[in-house]
Amino acid sequence: MARVLATAVRVSPWQSLLCLFETLGKVLAALSPLFIGVFAAGALKQDLRQMLCAAAALVGSTAANTALQAVGVNARVRQMELVGHTFDAQIAELTARIPTLDHLENASYLDKLQILRDNENALGGALNTLINTINTLAYAVSVLLVAVTADWRLLILIALGAARLLTARWSMRWEKAAEEAAAAPGRLTRHLIDLTVSPAAGAETRVFGHQSELRRRIRLAVVGWRRPTVRSTDRNSALAGANSVLFFATAVVLLGWMTRDAMAGTVSVQSLVVAVGVLQGLQSVSSSFVSAVGSLTKVGRNCARFLWLRDYADEVAAVHTGRRQPPDRLRDGIRIERLSFRYGDSARDSLTDISLDLPAGSVVALVGENGAGKSTLVKLLAGLYRPTGGRVLVDGVDLADLDLIGWRSRMSGAFQDHARFELTAQRSVGAGDLAVLDDPERVLRALHDAAAEDVVNALPAGLGTRLGTTWPGGVDLSGGQWQRLAIARGMMRQSPLLMVLDEPTAALDAATEHSLFERYAEARRPGRVTLLVTHRFSTVAAADLVVVLDQGRVIEVGPHAELLANQGHYANLYELQGRGYR
Amino acid sequence: MNQLRVLWRASPVWSAVALALTVTEAAVRTLLMVGIGQFVGSLPASASARTWRWFLVVAVLLLAGPILQSSLAAVTARCTTAYLVHVFDLVAEVGVHPRGIGHLDTPDSASRIRAVVDATRDWSFVTGAGAIWLIIGPRLAGLGAIAVLLPWRWWVPLAVAASFLLVSRVFMSWISLAFDKLLETTGDARRRASYLRSLLTRTESAKEVRLFGLTDWLSDVYRSTWYEAMTELWRERRSGLGPVLLACSVMALTVGGAFALIGLDVTAGTVSLAGAVTMAQAILRLQNFGVLGDAGTALARSTSTLRALANVRQELGLPAIGPAAAQAESSRSTHAAAEVRLDGVSFGYPSRATQALSNLTLQIPAGQSIAIVGVNGAGKSTLIKLLCGLYEPDQGTVRVDGADPAVDEAARRRVAVIFQDFVRYHLPLRDNVVLGTATDDVLQQSLTDAGGLALLERHGWDTVLSTEYDGGTDLSGGQWQRVALARALAAVAGGAGVLVLDEPTAALDVRAEAALFERFLEVTRGVTTILVSHRLSSVRHADRIVVLASGGEGIVEDGSHDELMRLDGRYAEMFGLQARRFAQ
């Protein structure tokens, strides 16, 4: 929390000061019962001067208060945006800097961090809450002072706040439970709403006639998302009601006592007027302490989430201590030794005891059916997962001893589930090698290497065209076109040590696939390993080495011809696919 | 107020209860002012019976307040739920109601729809839904204060209230300028910043962000995009503050004047102590016409979101705040195969310069299985979308069993399709196969025919197909494709007469693909089948193969596999290319 405040002061000290204008306004507002009391006393004494002084003070607590508020709100909102952004940027950076991927594929992690990740400005909201809390507290303290000047007995009412503080714990527990119970249906609501406004999902919704069913599901999801909140509001308002009734009942008794004294002349009319006027304020004193604790807890929770993320990032970074830089070129190649991997809480291994030699300068094909573990192996090679057993050796150096960023900067690749970078075409491809991000020649060469020139040729403004229809002047691409840009991105880096092509041609037509395949074969370079991952056997015949995976194990390894001659699993599948062409 | 009307539409009962509670609470507050005045005023007279009587009134009113407030909070929560259900339905309707999908992929309208969806996710939206009662209540209490002051000098409360209103108006217009501008002028730049941030945090881009080391670069671009958008906005906001401060000075004069008048009247003896105390409270209470803090901000923001939503809806021909009349749910009357005809069809996307299809004519007799092949960009996907009635052709006609699928819902429901980017619902397996009601037989049969029985055995019907939910699971690309296929087959079982498959086996492995096509004829018997595939080994089984030229120039070859091979044209060339890799 201190971090949020410190950040606020750091990003803009002057604005932070202006935020306090609002606080000053609150204090003036809190004093108004006192001014009214003075005014009433003046009226009783028929003292015009006293009444005019009180009137001037009351102007301060209304007009000046509003002016201060306007300036304060402007400063506060700006601070909130600025601080929110500062943290948003840090959160995004931290998330993206975590070198592995497990955290993005884990439900409990997502639950924890959804608020930070998806709600931009979560911590800006925290600052907002914090400033509001300061304001309410300043108000509360001023009210207390006013009450004390009126009559000491009013302090008894503050004691009742203890009951409130005790029950506040329940309220917070209810609220937290509601927040957690609402998370999953809230997520579903977002997902379903996104589907209704996505063109791709919209097409399917219409053809299948899902319109009203989808709307029905959204209604159900919203109800499910709100139900915990309604329930916790019921409980909280019943509790608050009970507390308030207790408070005012006590207040009535005290007022009665004061009234008797007033009649006896030991309590002044001014005190009684102040007492009556300050009651509402006094009630909110205890509740503002409660809500201050509540909002600070909430702020604390979001801050804790942030700290958790930071710790998590540190933890992951601490696990991976490798700092060695990868070699300039591979001498021997990549060696996989008894490698195993299991997803977080999965019951069985995704990969079991894999041992392989990927010689430098070779093109290796990794084939296998769905779920054989091909993509998992690729992610292990890229350091996106940490092996649960065994190791990967790059020219004899354990991948765990290599600097991951350095290693990845010497990799390149394209994936079937590629990202769609909705930037200009130039940058969407150029992102594959940031050093030459804005170099059109290099991008054109990569497009050539990916047989994707015609994708860009068809764009209205060529490489300068913005991709993605939700942007002004943005252009829509088909799935196949996006995929070819993703391949081109993978072709940007000049001399990777490891080139991974993880089924990047699944959505492409025969001619494109063919021309790409020719280029893959040319991709054979000394000092580099090219890994083709595919379930299409036709693309692998020219590979130097074919590795067949089945249910997380290597079942066959060898050159294409040798595997065919062996009449094993590979030959069987090759025959099956080739039959279609005979 | 727009919001009240929407609330009323969403839940008349809860809105009425909330309104009744709000009015009662305002009355209690007003009476309390009078009660306190009379109570204090009676003190110096030391007429104890009268004092105690007013004391009792004050006591009862003090106790009534919190009870009303608690009830209002509970009712507001319900009201807000009904409101959100209603508004999200209105948003969903914007997406799904228009017959075509043009509004979702034309940049201009898509970005405005997206802006509305994003605004509904802002904190102010949910808060704003409940904030209305926090605004109405005080304003009513302000009216009560005017009523209390009227008998004294009728023009004073009006002048003071007017000055508060002036401040409020100027303040609110400053706020709404600041936030409407947020939605409009800087909307795209801010959205751009959010998008860049999402590239850093989302799973979809995670792999490539790490592989290509994009973290620092994306962070920098995100930061600079954000600052650029916001700096402009901050300047605008600050310059709007001047009028607010001016209005505050006007207000200071009227409030000060009013108190001074009371003072003069007291010394002149025309106003009693009781009156002075009541009126001083009432003048302060007139502040309720003034600025109302965060609730006001939230309300202003959510109102402007509602306005944007209403505008989008009206442009699409939907009622602004109520759902459109339900469309007649057409049942698929026949179960026979459908005939498909395209005559002289031309079509170009609004956002692209070139035509996607020009002057295409194609007749597919009922029951035929036809394959469409061609290079990327030949217009295959566009052809499918036209056939599904998702766009209206610029020229020519599309007919399914003689009816236009872009106009006639029944004709569209005769089509079942697997798109390349089919939907992956974060819902149980059951709903991913049939979203809606279906018999277990249909579900079971469809999934079996799609080769997905293993999925069912492993996960069961009720497992949510997304790891973002407790107990959920994610499927591989190939498994998802089976689910999508099952979805289309279930639609056929439900009466669709044309089955369109856009690359149905792209993510399937060899064995699964072979198994699928082995049973393909059996599974699709009695239905017209249109297959789009790059894999010519699967295409050859079709009765008829149509080759589309690149650049949407129409059909260049048309015939069975054997005929086209004999023709030795493009198809034969492509087939040869693929087959060569299996020649040893």
Write down all domains in chain A, each with its CATH number in brackets.
1-151+281-319 (no CATH), 322-410+497-582 (3.40.50.300), 419-495 (no CATH)
CB interface of A with B, residues 247-276, below 8 Å: 247-249, 251-252, 255-256, 259, 262-263, 269, 272-273, 276
- Write down the pLDDT at residue A1: 65
CATH 3.40.50.300 domain position(s) in chain B:
365-381+414-580
Phi then psi dihedrals of residue B433, to 5 deg: -85, -55
- Write down the pLDDT at residue B329: 57
Residues of B whose CB is below 8 A from A61: 284
pLDDT tens digits, residue range A138-156?
988 899 899 988 888 888 8
Closest alpha carbon within chain B to A79: B234
- Write down the pLDDT at residue A217: 95
- Write down the pLDDT at residue B552: 66
Mean pLDDT for chain A overall: 85
- Statement: residue A514 has pLDDT above 80: no
Q: How far apart are CA A532 and CA A487, in angstroms?
A: 13
Once rounded to an integer, what is the mean pLDDT over residues A443-462? 88
Residues of B whose CB is below 8 A from A508: 376, 534
- Write down the pLDDT at residue B190: 81
More confidently predicted of B46 and A332? A332
Closest CA to A397 of A324, A339, A329, A340: A324
CB interface of A with B, residues 311-370, below 8 Å: 368-370
pLDDT tens digits, residue range A190-203?
999 999 999 889 99
Per-block mean pLDDT, blocks of 10 residues, chain B (584 long): 85 94 95 92 80 93 92 94 95 91 85 89 85 90 94 92 90 74 69 88 86 92 90 82 90 92 91 90 88 77 89 91 72 74 88 80 92 82 89 91 87 88 91 88 90 86 88 83 90 89 75 74 83 82 87 82 90 82 60
Report H helices in A328-452.
374-381, 404-409, 425-430, 440-449
Q: How far apart are CA A496 and CA A525, in angstroms?
A: 10
**How close A455 gets to chain B, by Cα (Å)?**
9
Report H helices in B269-355.
273-285, 293-315
Token code pair at residue B338: 């459908």
Q: Which residue has the tokens 């850093």?
A: B200
What B325-332 contacts at long range (C-beta under 8 Å, 24+ apart), as own/partner pairs, is B326/A212, B327/A211, B327/A212, B327/B409, B328/B409, B329/A209, B329/A212, B330/A209, B330/B409, B330/B410, B330/B413, B331/B495, B332/B410, B332/B413, B332/B414, B332/B494, B332/B495, B332/B496, B332/B497
**SS3 sequence of B449-505:** HCCCHHHHHHHCCCCECCCCCCCCCCCCHHHHHHHHHHHHHHHHHCCCCEEEEECCC
Q: Tell me the pLDDT band of A510, cut-offs 50, 70 and 90.
A: low
SS3 label, residue A556: strand
- Write down the pLDDT at residue B584: 46
Burial class for B329, CB neighbours closer than 10 Å (0-12, 13-18, 19+) = exposed
SS3 label, residue A193: helix
Q: How many CA atoms lie within 13 A of A386 on its CB side?
A: 18
CATH 1.20.1560.10 domain position(s) in chain B:
2-315
pLDDT tens digits, residue range A163-179?
777 887 888 899 889 98
**A2–B contact, CB cutoff 8 A:** no
Provide CB contacts within 8 A for B45, sequence distance 6+.
none
**A187–B contact, CB cutoff 8 A:** yes
Contact yes or no for B316/B103 (Cβ under 8 A): yes
- Write down the pLDDT at residue B81: 95
Contact yes or no for A475/A465 (Cβ under 8 A): yes
- Write down the pLDDT at residue B330: 57
CB contact under 8 A, B223 and A510: no
pLDDT tens digits, residue range A61-114?
888 888 888 888 888 888 888 888 888 888 888 888 888 887 776 666 766 666
Q: How far apart are CA B360 and CA B126, in angstroms?
A: 50
Helix pair B241-268, A48-59: axis angle to 10 deg: 160
Looking at the DSSP assignment, which residues form a beta bridge with residue B532? B372, B502
Once rounded to an integer, what is the mean pLDDT over residues A527-531? 88
Residues of B whose CB is below 8 A from A55: 256, 259-260, 262-263
- Statement: residue A452 has pLDDT above 60: yes
Q: How far apart are CA A542 and CA B581, in angstroms?
A: 9
**How close A456 gets to chain B, by Cα (Å)?**
12
More confidently predicted of A412 and B293? A412
Residues of B whose CB is below 8 A from A272: 40, 43
Contact yes or no for A370/B511 (Cβ under 8 A): no
Q: Return the top range by mean pLDDT from A49-58, A464-473, B81-90, B523-532.
A: B81-90
Which DSSP symbol is given to B287? G
- Statement: residue A261 has pLDDT above 70: yes
CA A238 to chain centre: 35
Buried b (16+ CB within 10 A) or exposed e, A176-211: eebbebbbbbbbbbbbbbebbbbbbbbbbbbbbbbb
Q: How many CB pairs under 8 A join A and B?
A: 537
CB interface of A with B, residues 446-485, below 8 Å: 454, 458, 460, 469-476, 478-481, 484
For the ranges A142-156, A317-331, A516-530, B85-99, which has the lowest average pLDDT? Answer: A516-530
Q: For domain B365-381+414-580, give its CATH number from 3.40.50.300, 3.40.640.10, 3.40.50.20, 3.40.50.10420.
A: 3.40.50.300
Residues of B whose CB is below 8 A from A417: 204, 207, 477
In this structure, the strands spanning B498-502 and B415-418 are parallel
Residues of B whose CB is below 8 A from A43: 262-263, 266, 271, 273, 276-277
Q: How far apart are CA B430 and CA A187, in angstroms?
A: 19
- Write down the pLDDT at residue A216: 94
Q: For domain B2-315, give its CATH number from 3.40.50.720, 1.10.287.610, 1.10.260.40, 1.20.1560.10.
A: 1.20.1560.10
Residue type, B22: T
**How close A338 gets to chain B, by Cα (Å)?**
24
- Statement: residue A538 has pLDDT above 70: no
Closest CA to A226 of A194, A169, A188, A173: A188
Q: How crowded is residue B180: how many other Cβ atoms within 10 Å of its Cβ?
A: 18
The H or E element containing residue A337 is: strand A333-341
Contact yes or no for B431/B490 (Cβ under 8 A): no
Q: How far apart are CA A20 and CA A26, in angstroms?
A: 10
